[in-house]
């Protein structure tokens, strides 16, 4: 999101549970498009609240799994949030070889990128982001 549209919009990456470490294959395929994830850590919805993020200040939650969609919909009981579910392929555990795994992770990355463009329009030009 930040790569395509800059930092004018506040974006947080949240999971149903925190895995602390980002999958190495995710890091590798995102690096191919100049997105740095190696220092990124995922947080859970509960951690966001504990660390001071006001969930009521968010307008939209994009869920990429059925579990995250369920958790986000639970939050709508307390907060006015729009929830969209984007059924993205979960590449975890797919592919036997390193190359086959990378193919699966690239497919998931590309699905997310396509959905971003469908939802928010074409990415801003690089010079517009600085």
Residue 13 CA: distances (Å) to CA of 22, 32, 87: 11, 20, 16
Q: Encoding tokens for residue 63?
A: 């869920």
Say if residues 31 and 23 touch (Cβ distance below 8 Å): no
In this prediction, residue 17 carries a pLDDT of 66
Say yes or no to pLDDT of 4 above 50.
Answer: yes
Residue that wins the pLDDT comparison between 88 and 79: 88
Say yes or no to pLDDT of 125 above 80.
Answer: no
pLDDT tens column, 82-92: 899 999 988 98
Whole-prediction pTM: 0.82
Residue that wins the pLDDT comparison between 53 and 43: 43
Fold of 2-118: Rossmann fold (3.40.50)
Q: Which long-range contacts (CB under 8 A, 24 or more apart) does 123-130 make?
A: 123/3, 123/4, 123/5, 124/4, 124/5, 124/6, 128/6, 129/5, 129/6
Break the chain into its structural domains and give their ranges. Answer: 2-118
In this prediction, residue 68 carries a pLDDT of 86
Say yes or no to pLDDT of 19 above 70.
Answer: no
Contacts of 95 (CB under 8 A, 6+ apart): 101, 102, 103, 104
């Amino acid at each position: 999101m930040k790569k395509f549209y800059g930092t004018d919009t506040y974006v947080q990456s949240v999971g149903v549970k925190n895995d602390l470490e980002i999958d190495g294959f995710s890091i590798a395929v995102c690096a191919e498009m100049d997105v740095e994830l190696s220092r990124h850590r995922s947080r859970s919805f509960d951690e966001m609240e504990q660390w001071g993020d006001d969930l009521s200040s968010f307008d939209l939650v994009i869920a990429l799994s059925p579990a995250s969609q369920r958790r986000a919909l639970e939050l709508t009981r307390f907060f006015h949030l729009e929830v969209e579910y984007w059924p993205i392929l979960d590449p975890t555990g797919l592919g036997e070889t390193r190359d086959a795994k990378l193919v699966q992770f690239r497919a998931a990355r590309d699905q997310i990128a396509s959905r971003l463009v469908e939802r928010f329009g074409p990415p801003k030009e690089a010079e517009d982001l600085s």
